[in-house]
């Protein structure tokens, strides 16, 4: 999406040169249309966080509903503070330490962007806040992998460290104008709205965390049925709605590319849900609501990196492929026996990898032509596949290793896994001293 | 035959359930209920004079043959109590049970439990 910014920057410079005789150079002004859409998108992405809280909250046992929803809200609180303070500077500042991470003192506490209008004609505040919502939802996604068994205090420290040490560097590599994955190959690794940055990083971290912390007490022997599928479905619906901001907002524009992203997002979500529904009908004879919700998410996750480059046919294909592979992944999880409680890896990790890799085969020809024109040599699908695989591989390895170190440190100092007694009592009681469904109480 | 009704704190439900299964008492009915114990106790506990609120509790209903009454009660007491015992840990009521019918087979009496 920063590609758009640099493209429009070039255009602007060209325009300035053209008009330099007799015309005073006009400063970049806010485009009200683009800004309105980006403000809307920012709000839509934030809406996904309570959506995720409901989605995850409904899937756990009654005694953990508040504890699980608080993982999402905790991310909103902690990252909400951390992002404007240092996260934006670490992600979108100019590269330091050989490009491992960005940093610009003027972005600390967003001090230096008070008057800044970006070349995409939106105030930089809007872009910083829009990006902040991605930083919020990503650690919240991880929580699905270790639901029902982590200490709230340890969780808060974990996501804060993770945001600084894992999210910000990957975000910098993939999305900052000087990030090395952004400049890999002819036109960079394609990650339109967060396939690697958001979904693969969080999914892989979730898998590492689930393996590191061990299974929930009694898993898989005891049945752990969802406490409220109604809430889960409403959450899935909110995620779908919010995803239009997530993907279509990532164009940082309000034009044709926005419309394309929105269209393929809608189609991939439907295709994913449809495929999952058919698989279940054939495999079990009954289509479950959780299956539909999982299919929606699998489709949305897979289209996330691809929303800028694939045509509608590709969106159908990616949604369907993601649903099939995620479904197989969940079957495999049952066989392997690790406890990725709410399938953060099973849907976000696997779906993200499927999307980021498979999108290569559905890139619209005009994009490939642009890539070839840029390097003045033919740019093939296989070369782009190499770039995509590199980006995915680096994200997987980096997120896994650094997350493991963070998990180890937090577990040894503050404690991340709850005690057996607290786990049996439920997180609502042991971590928050509350209960989810007090409304049942007659007074 | 006896009907054992236990009112316990919600956060001890899993402890009690597992302990009962360990003790081979596997047939139970669980419901969420609300209630409170003695008003004086609540007042003392809170340190100020207030009317007791209705608090969420969990109710277990277990029908047992006479020889299982003691083991059931002991298991519940041990598993439901917080450490050395706290106000609100709950109560157990034991009542005579006149008849028990298994719907599937229409069996009566002790063997139906």
What is the pLDDT confidence band of residue A14, given thresholds at 50, 70 and 90?
Answer: very low
Amino acid A57: pLDDT = 95
Distance from CA of A435 to the nearest CA of B (A): 9
Residue B51 in this model has a pLDDT that exceeds 70: no
Q: What is the pLDDT of residues A305-361, one digit of tens each?
A: 999 899 999 999 999 999 999 999 998 988 888 899 999 999 999 999 999 999 999
Q: Does B15 touch chain A (CB under 8 A)?
A: yes
Spatial CA neighbour of A302 closest among A254, A361, A221: A361
Per-residue confidence (pLDDT) for residue A18, from 0 to 100:
44
Query: Given an 8 Å threshold on Cβ–Cβ distance, is B56 in contact with A426?
Result: no
Q: Where are the domains of chain B?
A: 2-112
What the block records as the tokens of A370 is 């642009």
pTM of the model: 0.87
Please answer yes or no on whether B11 and A430 come within 8 Å at the CB atom.
yes
Whether the per-residue pLDDT at B61 is higher than 60: the answer is yes
Reported as a single tens digit per residue, the pLDDT across A412-436 is: 999 999 998 899 889 988 998 888 8
Tens of pLDDT, residues B15-39: 999 999 999 999 999 998 888 877 5
B11 chain-A contacts, CB cut-off 8 A = 63, 425-426, 429-430
Give the nearest chain B residue to A431 (CA atoms): B11
* CATH 3.30.70.120 is right for the domain spanning B2-112: yes
Average pLDDT for residues A161-169, to the nearest whole number?
94
B54 Cβ under 8 Å from any chain A Cβ: yes
CA distances from residue A435 to A420, A430, B11, B21, B76 in whole angstroms, order as listed: 19, 10, 10, 26, 23
> Residue A12: pLDDT above 80?
no
Chain B residues in contact with A430 (beta carbon < 8 A):
11
Residue A424 at interface with chain B, using a CB cutoff of 8 Å: yes
Q: B54 or A48: which carries more pLDDT confidence?
A: A48
Report the distance separating Cα A162 and Cα A202, nearest Å: 10
- Give the ipTM: 0.76
**End-to-end Cα distance, chain A:** 53
Q: What is the pLDDT of residue B13?
A: 92
Q: What is the pLDDT of residue A149?
A: 93
Q: What is the pLDDT of residues A227-267, one digit of tens each?
A: 999 999 999 999 999 999 999 999 899 999 999 999 999 99
The percentage of chain A sitting over the pLDDT mark of 70, rounded to a whole number, equals 93
Spell out the domain ranges in chain A: 31-420
Q: A441 and B11: CB-CB below 8 Å?
A: no
Inform me whether the C-beta atom of residue A432 falls under 8 Å from chain B C-beta atoms.
no
- Which of the following CATH numbers is that of domain A31-420: 3.40.50.300, 1.10.3430.10, 3.40.50.2000, 3.30.70.360? 1.10.3430.10
Q: Which of residues A14 and A438 earns the better pLDDT score?
A: A438
**Ramachandran area for residue A363 (φ above 0: left; ψ -120 to 50: alpha; else beta):** beta
pLDDT recorded at residue B92: 96
How far apart are the C-alpha atoms of A72 and A136, rounded to whole Å? 8
Phi and psi angles of residue B29, each rounded to the nearest 5 degrees, phi first? -120, 135
Task: Read off the pLDDT of residues A32-77 as tens digits, 9 standing for 90 and up.
Answer: 999 999 999 999 999 999 999 999 999 999 999 999 999 999 999 9
With cut-offs at 50, 70 and 90, classify the pLDDT of residue A226: very high
Candidates B5, B32, B16; CA nearest to A424 is B16
Q: What is the pLDDT of residue A112?
A: 87
Establish if A334 touches chain B: CB-CB under 8 angstroms.
no
- Helices A350-358 and A289-303, axial angle in degrees (round to 10): 40
In Å, what is the CA distance from A383 to each residue of A179, A361, A372, A396? Answer: 19, 11, 11, 20
Separate counts of helices (H) and strands (E) for chain B: 3, 6
């Amino acid at each position: 999406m920063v590609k758009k910014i640099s493209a429009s920057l070039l255009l602007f410079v060209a325009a300035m040169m053209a008009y330099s005789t007799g015309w005073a150079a006009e400063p970049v002004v806010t485009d009200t249309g683009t800004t309105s859409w980006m403000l809307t998108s920012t709000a839509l992405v934030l809406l996904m966080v309570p959506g995720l809280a409901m989605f995850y909250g409904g899937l756990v046992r009654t005694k953990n509903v508040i504890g699980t929803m608080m993982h999402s809200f905790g991310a909103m609180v902690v990252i909400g503070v951390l992002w404007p303070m240092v996260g934006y500077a670490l992600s979108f500042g100019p590269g330091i330490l050989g490009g491992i991470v960005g940093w610009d003192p003027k972005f600390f506490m967003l001090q230096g962007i008070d008057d800044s209008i970006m070349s995409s004609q939106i105030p930089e505040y809007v872009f910083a806040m829009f990006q902040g919502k991605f930083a919020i939802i990503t650690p919240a996604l991880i929580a699905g992998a270790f639901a029902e068994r982590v200490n709230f205090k340890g969780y808060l420290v974990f996501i804060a460290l993770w945001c600084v040490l894992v999210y910000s560097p990957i975000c910098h590599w993939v999305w900052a104008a000087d990030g090395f994955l952004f400049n890999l190959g002819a036109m960079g690794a394609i990650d339109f709205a967060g396939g690697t940055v958001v979904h693969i990083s969080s999914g892989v971290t979730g898998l590492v965390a689930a393996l590191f912390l061990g299974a929930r007490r009694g898993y898989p022997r005891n049945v752990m049925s969802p406490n409220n599928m109604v809430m889960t479905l409403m959450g899935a619906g909110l995620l779908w709605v919010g995803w239009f901001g997530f993907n279509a907002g990532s164009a940082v524009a309000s034009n044709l590319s926005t419309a394309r992203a929105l269209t393929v997002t809608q189609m991939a979500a439907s295709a994913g849900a449809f495929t999952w529904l058919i698989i279940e009908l054939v495999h079990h004879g009954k289509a479950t609501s959780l299956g539909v919700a999982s299919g929606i998410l699998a489709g949305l996750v897979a289209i996330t990196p691809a929303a800028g480059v694939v045509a509608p046919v590709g969106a159908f294909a990616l949604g369907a492929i993601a649903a099939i592979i995620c479904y197989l992944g969940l079957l495999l999880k049952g066989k392997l026996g690790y406890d990725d409680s709410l399938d953060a890896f099973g849907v976000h990790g696997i779906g993200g990898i499927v999307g980021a890799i498979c999108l290569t085969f559905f890139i619209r020809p005009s994009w490939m032509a642009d890539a070839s024109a840029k390097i003045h040599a033919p740019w093939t699908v296989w070369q782009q596949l190499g770039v995509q695989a590199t980006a995915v591989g680096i994200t997987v390895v980096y997120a896994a290793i650094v997350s493991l170190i963070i998990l180890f440190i937090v577990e040894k100092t503050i404690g991340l896994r709850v005690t057996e007694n607290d786990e049996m009592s439920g997180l609502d009681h042991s971590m928050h001293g509350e209960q989810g469904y007090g409304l049942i109480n007659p007074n | 035959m006896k009907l054992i009704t236990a009112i316990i704190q919600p956060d001890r439900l899993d402890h009690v359930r597992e302990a009962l299964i360990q003790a081979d008492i596997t047939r139970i009915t669980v419901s969420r209920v609300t209630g409170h114990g003695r008003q004086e106790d609540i007042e003392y506990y809170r340190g100020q004079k207030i009317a007791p609120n209705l608090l969420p509790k969990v109710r277990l209903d277990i029908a047992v043959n006479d020889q299982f009454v003691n083991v059931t009660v002991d298991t519940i007491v041990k598993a439901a109590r917080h450490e050395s015992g706290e106000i609100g840990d709950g109560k157990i009521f034991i009542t005579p049970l006149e008849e028990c019918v298994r719907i599937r087979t229409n069996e009566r009496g002790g063997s139906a439990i």
